[in-house]
Amino acid sequence: MAVISYLDAISHALREEMRRDPTVFLMGEDIGVFGGAFKVTRGFIEEFGEERVIDTPISESGFTGAACGAAIMGFRPVVEFQFADFIACAFDQIVNFAAKCYYRWGIPVPVVFRGPSGGGFRGGPYHSQNPEAWFTHVAGLKVVQPSTPYEAKGLLKAAIRDNNPVIYLEHKHLYRRIREEVPDEDFEIPIGVADVKRDGTDLTIVTYGAMVHTCLGVAERLAAEGAEIEVVDLRSLAPLDKDTILASVSKTGKALVVHEAQLTSGIGGEVAAIIVESCWDALDAPVKRIGALDVPIPFSPTLEDAVLPSEGKIEATARELLEY
Amino acid sequence: MSETELIRVLGDDDTSPAPYHPSLDDESLLALYRRMVQTRLFDAEMIRLHRQGRVSIYSSSEGEEALAVAAAMTLSEEDWLFPDYRVSGALFERGVPMEEFLAQLFGTSKDLSKGRQIPTHYGSRQRHIASISSPVGNGIAHAVGFAWAARIKKGPEVVLTFFGDGATSEEGFHTGMNIAGVHKLPVVFVCRNNQYAISVPFNLQTGSDTIAVKAKAYGFDGVRVDGTDALAVHDVVREAVERARKGGGPTLVEGVSYRHGAHSTSDDDTRYRKAAEAEAWRKRDPIDRFGRYLKSRGLWDDARDAALRETLESRIQTAVAEAEAAPPPPLESLFDDVYDDLPWHLREQRQDLTDHLRGLKGRKP
Ligand SMILES: Cc1ncc(C[n+]2csc(CCOP(=O)(O)OP(=O)(O)O)c2C)c(N)n1
């Protein structure tokens, strides 16, 4: 087992899948000689050549549609968006075509759409967004967001092998910051299965992506005061792992849902609804949600810091629920 | 005029061929030169500030100053500019003071976009400059819509929009060009063909030999001009603007150029460009070329050049110091302009933030 970064894990998963399966190929802007804006595909063009590591023109809609076309022919393309924000440029191809092709026609479209998402980088309104909820509302799409290198690798492999279109969101903040041991042998993390990152009995925090680490920090701090918080990492946002969420909340009786994406109409609303509908009797307190303020992400560091969910706010809300 | 012929005014020795009479008078020629030098020095200072961690990202126009400045110079006050992130010279030419652009780069309380946009994404309604939105190419369609509205209102406005060669692959370019062609709209498309879109070379961006040729399919003229030749750029764009103003419809201008520096401060261009190629283009530096022309006409000399640079450097320093001293935008401003009214959920979130800040005040940080 080697210690690798979140970014390495994504890179390794892509490389191993390309070696294993000749139908896997990559498309995106600057992914060839340049190795990608964040260097996920560094060295790929040298190993796999221009036919499998395709530097596309800047036409997200065009190359996304082309990837879908190749998928109909039996390929498994992985499309990189330079920033997850620019998935919006390819919305029609993903939402109207990829998501519905199998239902309309019985032909699967096994494309993975990858993109660096998330704020905290002074990227402003177009290089900071968390677009997962744009897609979880679309039948036919799977949506995942790993929080650790182990998951980044296992989920990407599962996404590539999945017969459905999968949106795979990578949080920029985790790329180089999070490192851990990851098995060298082949493994997959099944899509649709959450992971309990920390056991606890007093409160469940349901979260995913970069916020997993923030919430674990809060749980550690409150543990020093005797509170036992359980942290559930969703990993897969569509489909959600209802069983794991309900098992945890049934045990703790209290739930807080945290995500970096903006609050309104986010994943948190769906998770809260599932909890309220299915384990009302177990609840000892109202279900709470924390997300970014419902404004575009501003560039100014002072403003951005106020928009994204802070550790302080998560801690305060967790305390409030613990004391309820 | 064909879409593949490269229009030039300056000859190989950078003096113009004998029968050429510039459309600009001597004073304007000098103003154009001064503006290009200002742009060069300003951009260089921003790269320095980035290295010092004072500007978070910047995209320099080094090598493309002739395109930005000479093209923008052809516009009248009522006209509108839809820029991209690599035409600081065009902003200055439209009258943007350096302090104002710097306020945007630093994202301070004096920034017209209230600290919301990333550096270089300036915009000003008062100065008829559209605010840049980052998705490459989408501003092209907005420029077309603006021109369409000008037509409907029978207004005098001509719209000029800048974009790179990479942007010509986007929908905004093709749909925008198409609509402009159908309705013969008063818009001038200026493509800065600097040969690369970050690392992707021209031949991987398009299968056609030129950008200019693409206009043909949309029913109007495309012109290819030497983008390092300020006089040629000015003449070509001036003609296009006049045509648009007279109801003659759009023109696509392809300015063939090169960005001397990296794509942005986040880029390392040595990974994908050969040093010799960059060196060859540096020999055709637009400022050097235009300077040699002015000297050959007896309008300029080394002493004046040195004095100009000294004055500009000091003005830039003063502007930076002033702009940097401004505080960040107030937190309460976060909720303004999301909508033109404040819905209940944002009112609640603003109240929460205010309460939170008030709570913090009592405590030690
Ligand atoms: C829709 C979209 N895709 C990708 C990007 C990332 N990006 C920013 S600039 C750029 C290259 C643009 O190249 P070009 O149009 O040739 O202009 P240049 O930077 O060379 O002046 C890319 C890919 C973006 N901003 N928007």
All residues of chain B having their beta carbon less than 8 Å from the beta carbon of residue A300 are: 107-108, 115-116, 328-329
Is B303 domain-assigned?
Answer: yes
Residue B365 has pLDDT above 50, yes or no: no
Identify the residue whose C-alpha is closest to ligand 1 atom 20: B197
Overall pTM > 0.90: yes
Whether B164 is in the pocket of ligand 1, judged by its Cβ within 6 Å, is yes
A104 vs chain B: nearest CA distance in angstroms? 27
In short, whether A59's Cβ falls inside 6 Å of ligand 1 is: no
Tell me how far apart the alpha carbons of residues A87 and A130 are, in angstroms, rounded to a whole number. 11
| More confident: B287 or B21 | B287
Q: Which amino acid is at A244?
A: T
Question: Would residue B259 show up in a list of annotated catalytic residues for this protein?
Answer: yes
Contacts of A122 in chain B (CB under 8 A): 56, 118
pLDDT in tens, B226-273: 999 999 999 999 999 999 999 999 999 999 999 999 999 888 898 899
Structure confidence at residue B358 as a pLDDT band (50, 70, 90): confident
Phi, psi torsion values for B337, nearest 5 degrees: 70, 5
CB burial of residue B68 (10 Å; 0-12, 13-18, 19+): buried
pLDDT given for residue B248 in this prediction: 98
Same domain, B112 and B217: yes
Q: Of B119, B206, B338, which is closest to A57 when you measure between CB atoms?
A: B206
Judge whether residue B4 has pLDDT over 70.
yes
Which B-chain residues 259-288 have CB contacts (< 8 A) with chain A? 266, 271-272
Same domain, B214 and B354: no
pLDDT surpassing 90 at residue B166: yes
Active site residue A127: yes
Residues B185 and B203 in one domain: yes
CATH number, domain containing residue B39: 3.40.50.970
Give the confidence band of B361 by pLDDT, cuts at 50, 70, 90: low
Task: Tell me how far apart the alpha carbons of residues B84 and B114 are, in angstroms, rounded to a whole number.
Answer: 19
Which run of H or E residues covers position A135? Answer: helix A132-136
Do B321 and B213 sit in the same domain of this protein? yes
* Domain shared by B59 and B162, yes or no: yes
Please count the helices (runs of H) and the strands (runs of E) in chain A.
12, 14
Alpha-carbon distance B8 to B172, whole Å? 29
Q: For B88-102, what is the mean pLDDT?
A: 98
Query: Sign of torsion, CA B358 B342 A270 B116?
Result: negative
Residue B173 Cβ < 6 Å to ligand 1: no
Q: Is residue B133 located within the same domain as residue B20?
A: yes
Q: Which residues contact A125 (CB under 8 A, 6 or more apart)?
A: A296, A297, A298, A299, B116, B117, B134
- What was the pLDDT predicted at A68? 98
Same domain flag for B334 and B316: no
Q: Which of A127, A171, A213, A259 is catalytic?
A: A127
Mean pLDDT of chain B: 95
| B53 and B83 together in one domain | yes
pLDDT at B103 over 90: yes
The pLDDT-based confidence of B89 (bands split at 50, 70, 90) is: very high
Query: Kind and range of the H or E element at A232?
Result: strand A229-233
Mean pLDDT of the B279-298 span: 96
Of A55, A126, A295, the CB nearest to B335: A295
pLDDT tens figures, A170-217: 999 999 999 999 999 999 999 999 999 999 999 999 999 999 999 999
| Enclosing domain of residue B349 | 330-365
Q: Do B118 and A300 touch (CB under 8 A)?
A: no
Residue B71 located in a structural domain: yes
The reported pLDDT for the residue numbered B364 is 42
Q: Does domain A2-182 have CATH number 3.40.50.970?
A: yes
Residues B255, B186 share a domain? yes
Residue B101 counted as domain residue: yes
B328 at A interface, C-beta within 8 A: yes
Residues B69 and B215 in one domain: yes
Side-chain half-sphere of A66: how many Cα atoms within 13 Å?
A: 13
CA–CA gap between residue B233 and residue A83 (Å, rounded): 34
- Inside any domain, residue B1: no
Handedness of CA B338, B343, B347, B349 (dihedral sign): negative
Fold topology of A195-322: Rossmann fold (3.40.50)
Residue B354: which residues within 8 A CB-CB, separation 6 or more? B332
- Asked if A2-182 and A195-322 have one fold, the answer is yes
Distance between Cα A176 and ligand 1 center (Å): 24
Put simply, the answer to whether B329 touches A302 (Cβ < 8 Å) is yes
**Average pLDDT, integer, range B278-284:** 95
Interface predicted TM-score (ipTM): 0.95
Answer yes or no: do B351 and B314 share one domain: no
Report the domain count for chain B. 2
> What are the extents of the domains in chain A?
2-182, 195-322
Q: In this structure, are B340 and B231 located in the same domain?
A: no
Which stretches of chain A score pLDDT less than 70?
Answer: none
Q: Does residue B334 belong to the interface with chain A, where contact is any CB pair within 8 Å?
A: yes
| Alpha-carbon dihedral sign for residues B349, B351, B354, B360 | negative
Phi/psi at B33 (nearest 5 deg)?
Answer: -65, -45
The string of pLDDT tens digits covering residues B127-155 is 999 999 999 999 999 999 999 999 999 99
Q: Give the B window 183-222 contacts with A, CB below 8 Å.
A: 197-200, 204-206
Q: Which of B263, B273, B284, B289 is catalytic?
A: B263
Residue B22 falls within a domain, yes or no?
Answer: yes
Locate the ligand 1 atom nearest the alpha carbon of residue B86 and give its number.
21
* Cα dihedral across residues B44, B49, B52, B55: positive or negative: negative
Q: pLDDT class for B1, splitting at 50, 70, 90?
A: low
Nearest atom of ligand 1 to the alpha carbon of B134 = 25
